[in-house]
Amino acid sequence: MESTRAETGASERPGVSASAGLPKALPAVDKRDPSATKQEAIFSLTGVQVAYGGIPAVEDVTFDLVKNEITAFIGPSGCGKSTLLRCLNRMNDLIPSASVSGKVLYHDQDLYAPDIDPVQVRKRIGMVFQKPNPFPKSIYENIAFGPRVLGMKGDMDEIVETALRKGALWDEVKDRLKTNAFGMSGGQQQRLCIARALATDPDVLLMDEPCSALDPISTGRIEDLMLELREEVSIVIVTHNMQQAARVSDMTAFFMVELDEGEKHRTGRMVEYDQTEQIFTNPSNSQTEEYVTGKVG
Amino acid sequence: MAVAETEITRKVVERASSGARTKDLLFRASLLLCLFVAVLFLGVLIVDVAIDGVPLITPDFLTNFPSRLFPEDSGIRPALIGTLYLMLLCAAFIVPIGVAAAVYLEEYADPNRWYNRLIEVNIQNLASVPSVVYGILGLAFIVRGPIDIWGLGEGSPTLLAGALTLGLLVLPVVIIVSREAIRAVPPSIREGSLALGATKWQTIWKMVLPGSVAGIATGVILALSRAIGETAPLILVGAIAFRLTDPTIDGQFSALPIAIFQAAGEPRPEFQILAAGAIVVLLAVLLLMNSVAIFLRNRYEQKW
């Protein structure tokens, strides 16, 4: 699989050309060079299983997520892709019955080691949710909340402006920063949530179906935004929309749900993980092919 | 016969039978009657009290001390001040404890643990315990308890003891209402805050409590408006009606319900009527508090 990646890596993908016009220069190192890729693994999962009340929701997940790339998790409902995403910043800790086994390494550090504080994990790994969840405060306060609780130093006005610019929202809201965020449109709210997550300068951005509640135009804006942001954060996105995965992601992981006849519960499994183009044009697994061509799902 | 049958079958929508209509009308009429009975008695009560009481409400009535000799000079000053003190002290007692208990039960307690379930069931039950029982509790454990031990009232009942007793009485209500207000803050807000790296404490303090403050404030005021009319516990902890000095926190005290109770028991009719005046004052204070609660709810309630 590694060799395949190296060969096809230089091929044109829509995402790359969209971000080529950015002022920030692309890194000199070709990220698709296998040796470089190995060094830049941001998450390294080994035999990860997440269970709710002892019943596994997703199991046996082993793969590396690459730094400064967009990784998409696709698959049918109930395949555990959101569950897996939420274990990358320990949001599953909020569900008392959830338990994670296996190894989740973040920059070679075990996220589930006993001495790791989930709060510290979430400071580095931001998250954007399915439904926009702005706080019932002003636009300004929404952005400033994260930097404040983290005790970030510096000019707060500047931090807010930078974050809103990163969220491609500054021009739309700069004259009404003090108004309540609930007055924004759904798409603006979701970009506010992205900007809010970026304000604390995270290393990774986890996005759990961020466009499922949005119209196509808002969705397009968020996709453009993701391609721009890839230069500074690694993005992991869960999506039901296969076109979206194809449009924005560099790597795609396909999950499938398996019905356990004996115990009558459904468990998700990762079927295939490869470069997005490979997954959509020439998948090695027949289940993946059936799903991406729309035969099942 | 055959013709009639075809006519019926041709009808697309059948007309309602007169029997069904009559039933419907009867049902509506009986509902209206029940409403009328409830409103009528309340109206009669208020009008009756107002006719007797409103003419009594003069500045003198509010600011004079009670008198056993001249009904026209008799006032409710100590009772009114006592009630205001009781409410303030009671609020100072129930707000921090009630909100803290609610935060624990909603945000920290694991509902699967037996002791948390036990606490929950007990709070629900405590909210419906008769107030006279709280009076006994206050007498045994507050008046003859810490107040006595600290020598605050030098063995006699004090306003502080009354306020604490009323506080215990309405604490379950405050906890239940606060829990509902906290629960109304959607989980997505907590998730959003935690995902930014905020601690649980920061999330509760900066997101959950501000989001539920209107509900909590409304609940506290409604709890206080229950406490303000309670008579039995105050009698048991030793409130007195006839006082000729202003109440102090560590001294004996009076309260509006006590003044009403005492006046209503007077043998002389010219003193009995003073109860109506005190009732009007009590109802006015109550109405004011409920208006504040409604205002707070409408003005600050968070729509999610």
A76-90, A242-256, B149-163, B205-219: which range is least confident on average? B149-163
Q: Where are the beta strands (DSSP E) in B52-170?
A: none
Residue ranges of chain A whose CB lies within 8 Å of a chain B CB:
89, 91, 94, 96, 119-120, 122-124, 126-127, 129, 131, 133-136, 145-146, 149-150, 182, 193, 196-197, 200
State yes or no: pLDDT of A14 exceeds 70: no
CA distance linking residue B192 with residue A129, whole number of Å: 8
Minimum CA–CA partner of A122 in chain B:
B197
Hey, what domains does chain A have and what are their CATH numbers? 2-292 (3.40.50.300)
Within 8 A of B191 by CB-CB distance, chain A residues are 91, 94, 127, 129, 133
Work out the minimum CA distance from A123 to partner chain B, whole angstroms.
Answer: 4
Which of A88, A91, A119 to mutate to test binding with chain B, by most B CBs within 10 Å of its CB? Answer: A119
Work out the minimum CA distance from B211 to partner chain A, whole angstroms.
Answer: 8
Q: Please state, for a pLDDT cut of 90, what percent of chain A lies above it.
A: 53
Over the stretch A179-194, which tens digit does the pLDDT of each residue have?
999 999 999 999 999 9
- Check residue A128 and give its pLDDT: 95
Work out the minimum CA distance from A197 to partner chain B, whole angstroms.
Answer: 6
CA distance linking residue A177 with residue A179, whole number of Å: 6
State yes or no: pLDDT of A38 exceeds 70: no
The confidence band for B211, taking pLDDT boundaries of 50, 70 and 90, is very high
State yes or no: pLDDT of A32 exceeds 80: no
State yes or no: pLDDT of B6 exceeds 60: no
Work out the minimum CA distance from B205 to partner chain A, whole angstroms.
Answer: 11
CA distance linking residue B304 with residue B301, whole number of Å: 9
Which amino acid is located at A169 in the chain? L
Structural domain boundaries in chain B: 15-56, 61-300
- Check residue B7 and give its pLDDT: 57
Within 8 A of A126 by CB-CB distance, chain B residues are 195-196
CA distance linking residue B135 with residue B230, whole number of Å: 10
Chain-chain contact of A129 with B191 (C-beta, under 8 angstroms): yes
Q: What is the ipTM of this complex?
A: 0.82
Chain-chain contact of B188 with A131 (C-beta, under 8 angstroms): yes
Three-state SS for chain A is CHHHHHHHCCCCCHHHHHHCCCCCCCCCCCCCCHHHHHHCEEEEEEEEEEEECCEEEEEEEEEEEECCCEEEEECCCCCCHHHHHHCCCCHHHHCCCEEEEEEEEECCEECCCCCCCHHHHHHHEEEECCCCCCCCCEHHHHHHHHHHHCCCCCCHHHHHHHHHHHCCCHHHHCCCCCCEHHHCCHHHHHHHHHHHHHHCCCCEEEEECCCCCCCHHHHHHHHHHHHHHCCCCEEEEECCCHHHHHHHCCEEEEEEEEEECCCCEEEEEEEEEEEHHHHHHCCCCHHHHHHHCCCCC
Average pLDDT of the residues of chain B: 87
Interval A120-125 mean pLDDT: 92
Within 8 A of B195 by CB-CB distance, chain A residues are 89, 91, 122, 126-127, 129, 197
Within 8 A of B185 by CB-CB distance, chain A residues are none
Work out the minimum CA distance from A149 to partner chain B, whole angstroms.
Answer: 6
- Check residue A247 and give its pLDDT: 92
Over the stretch B232-268, which tens digit does the pLDDT of each residue have?
999 888 887 777 778 877 778 889 999 899 888 888 8
- Check residue B178 and give its pLDDT: 95
Which of B196, B206, B303 to mutate to test binding with chain A, by most A CBs within 10 Å of its CB? Answer: B196
Chain-chain contact of B196 with A126 (C-beta, under 8 angstroms): yes
* Facing A146 at nearest CB: one of B112, B191, B196: B196
- Check residue A179 and give its pLDDT: 94
Minimum CA–CA partner of A86 in chain B:
B195
Write down the CATH superfamily of domain B61-300. Answer: MetI-like (1.10.3720.10)
Letter string b/e over residues B108-125, b meaning 16 or more CB atoms within 10 A of that residue's CB:
ebeeeeeeeeebbeebee
pTM of the predicted protein model? 0.81
Chain-chain contact of B189 with A122 (C-beta, under 8 angstroms): no
Within 8 A of A194 by CB-CB distance, chain B residues are none
* Facing B195 at nearest CB: one of A122, A131, A182: A122
Minimum CA–CA partner of A181 in chain B:
B304
Over the stretch B117-142, which tens digit does the pLDDT of each residue have?
999 899 999 988 999 999 999 888 88
State yes or no: pLDDT of A262 exceeds 80: no
- Check residue B9 and give its pLDDT: 58
Within 8 A of B201 by CB-CB distance, chain A residues are none
- Check residue B3 and give its pLDDT: 52
State yes or no: pLDDT of A79 exceeds 90: no
Within 8 A of B202 by CB-CB distance, chain A residues are 149
State yes or no: pLDDT of A114 exceeds 80: yes
